[in-house]
Amino acid sequence: MIGLISATAAGAAARDRLAAAWPDRTRVYEGPVGDAVRAAFAQCEQLVCFLATGAVVRLVAPLLSGKTEDPGVVCVDEGGRFAVSLLGGHAGGANELAREVGDLLGAEPVVTTATDAVDLPGLDTLGLPVEGDVAGVSRALLDGEAVALRAEVAWPLPPLPVADEGPYTILLTDRLVGAAEREVVLRPPTLVVGVGASKGAPVEEVLGLVEGALREAGLSVASVAELATVDAKAGEPGIVEAARRLGVPLVTYSAEELAGVDVPNPSDAPLAAVGTPSVAEAAALVGGGELLVPKRKSAASPAMATCAVVRRPGRGRLAVVGLGPGARDLLTPRAKAELRRASVLVGLDQYVDQIRDLLRPGTRILESGLGAEEERARTAVEEARKGQAVALIGSGDAGVYAMASPALAEASDDIDVVGVPGVTAALAAGAILGAPLGHDHVSISLSDLHTPWEVIERRVRAAAEADIVVTFYNPRSRGRDWQLPKALGILAEHRTPATPVGVVRNASRPDESSRLTTLGALDPATVDMMTVVTVGNTATRDIAGRMVTPRGYRWQSAQEGSQ
């Protein structure tokens, strides 16, 4: 919850804007400011104070207890010009909150955290448990000193300026080791603990078994990703509570799934009880990996719990990112976040140039020219399989005539794949033209490089017969000058020459141009590969110079009847 505190009418007005925008995230604290700050500090994860920074410093100073315990605090000035991250920039999320508040109120976010200031990922912001000399190693990264990365397990990390050797170290491990001097230990969630239990097994017995097995194997409980068991034990209180205390999800599988897993220590007892010869080992091994701790029983007599521990291979991450039609303000926040998260970027050279300034220092860029789409897809998947965090970029939406299809055709279930949607050229052009896509519509590429013309022609004819608005991608190039006239001719068999047609070139880019013409008047020679052509249906109209397709034919009939 975010506590909101203000002292003046101007502050209250800005406060109320936040409260209205985030009704489920915020709570307004009224009354004397000192009392309000103290109450919010104790009750909320974050605070936004519409007060002077000096006043807030004096109010919160006696309340501070520690970096990991204190809430994040953001101050907004009386004029609403700045949103200052005052306390808990990373641990409390104040840096990101300052940016969110700034976006909403039109204020400039002020972030003074050193790593954020130079666009370096904070070691305590990677989403992994961290311990050791975070301040010292971070300072070394900032100062350009050699920091070695020792990755004992593969895990996708954002770009970090690390070296093979150096006096400072970042250790990526799931082993139970303490941080050495000048070292930070990051613990990725690589361990899966399979558990089985008799009915009524106490949580202390289950938890003690799990923690003891990890400790004796030299593994860190902080790297446990999940507890896993059979469906029949999904509600077993001891197992459920053990997962809660460990802070990990409880994942369950059917007896049939577990029975199909090859395990070293099957048993007749679980087969008779729940229908599978193994629960603990099989549940841990369902997703593959290395069995580090074979099935072991608890020390109680009789033993009521079993567990096994598996290290799953680190999974790389492939984000397929749509950059939109070209304008920076049409690049989504989610796309920006994925670009900054990636340690490897793969893309067409001209698209890389569009977003190069958004990448973090140290991002490895693998760019290539036109015609290398399949090679880029293979490269992106290969890098993800190495455990990297990869962003594969495409214009518009990456799933529309772009890189998502070839990439997903290459990818298997050994990597995580995330799709990031983008504004398509058809949508950008539609917004410029008016509302041509107000009813059913279809996009068709006229490029026959990958699709036989016979197939394209059949699709155009189907759209024409169905009276659907059509947006043509790749309409005409120097080597393909006859496809667009042919497609327009097919549409003309079902639509009048007066049918509105919108032509948009370089939608949203600095040299954008657009015009509204008709099916009978359009000269295909004025169209090129940077253009999209939108042909209306029989209901589409030119209204005040805008292309409008009504949401229904009843609306159009009513309009005509009133004239």
Say what the pLDDT of residue 553 is.
58
pLDDT digits (tens, 9 = 90+) for 177-226: 999 999 999 999 999 999 999 999 999 999 999 999 999 999 999 999 99
pLDDT of residue 156: 87
* Cα 283–Cα 288–Cα 293 angle in degrees, nearest 5: 60
Whole-model pTM above 0.75? Answer: no
Instruction: Please give the DSSP secondary-structure letter assigned to residue 252.
Output: E
Is the pLDDT at 151 greater than 70, yes or no? Answer: yes
Torsion angle of the four alpha carbons 39, 67, 175, 304, in this order, in degrees rounded to the nearest 10: -20
DSSP states of 457-522: HHHHHHHHHTT-EEEEES--BTTB-SHHHHHHHHHHTTS-TT-EEEEEESTTSTT-EEEEEETTT-
**Distance of CA 318 to CAs 38, 128, 277, Å?**
44, 19, 36
Strand order in the sheet with 168-172: 130-132, 183-186, 168-172, 147-151
> Tell me, what amino acid is at 539?
A
CA angle 313/316/321 to nearest 5° reads: 160
Cα–Cα distance between 287 and 406 in angstroms, integer? Answer: 25
* Pair 279, 228: CB distance under 8 Å: no
In this structure, of 244-248, 472-476, 502-506, 552-556, the range with the lowest mean pLDDT score is 552-556
User: Is the pLDDT at 415 greater than 60, yes or no?
Assistant: yes
Instruction: Write the single-letter amino acid at 441.
Output: H
Rounded CA gap, 428 and 434, in Å?
A: 10
Q: Quick one: tokens of 44?
A: 């909320």
- pLDDT tens digits for 355-383? 999 998 889 999 998 888 899 999 999 99
Check whether 113 has a pLDDT greater than 90: no
